[in-house]
Amino acid sequence: MTVTVFTKPRCPQCEATKRQLTRQGVDFETVDLTENPATLDQLQEAGFRQAPVVITPDASWSGYRPDLIKALVKQDVTELADHQVLA
């Protein structure tokens, strides 16, 4: 699963999101929006108004959302179980 977290410096919600993803064992990529102004513009045009912005294969959200991070982990485990082959 590919998860991207778009962050900005000195952002407590960004740090909390990254900590929660790490605690839950989710691999993620971080993109600093101050170094990527074109990406920031695209996210704002898409309606995102606060950092962090989290993009997953099936969902996207902004802000610190531990409920959605837990749902993401639960979904990933369920999908893995659905595809598990028993010998």
Q: Identify the pLDDT of residue 77.
A: 54
Sign of torsion, CA 87 27 22 47? negative
For residue 40, tell me if it sits in a domain: yes
Both tokens assigned to 83: 């595809």
> Count of residues for the chain?
87
Report the CATH number at residue 17: 3.40.30.10
Q: Identify the pLDDT of residue 85.
A: 47
Q: Tens-of-pLDDT digits for all 87 residues of the chain? A: 789 999 999 999 999 999 999 999 999 999 999 999 999 999 999 999 999 999 998 899 999 999 999 999 888 655 544 434 443
Residue 25's domain comprises 4-82
Q: Would you call 59 helix, strand, or coil by DSSP?
A: coil
Q: Identify the pLDDT of residue 52.
A: 98
For residue 87, tell me if it sits in a domain: no
Q: Identify the pLDDT of residue 1.
A: 76
Q: Identify the pLDDT of residue 84.
A: 43
Q: Identify the pLDDT of residue 25.
A: 93
For residue 14, tell me if it sits in a domain: yes
What is the rounded distance in angstroms from the CA atom of residue 85 to the CA atom of residue 36?
42
Quote the number of domains for the chain.
1
For residue 57, tell me if it sits in a domain: yes
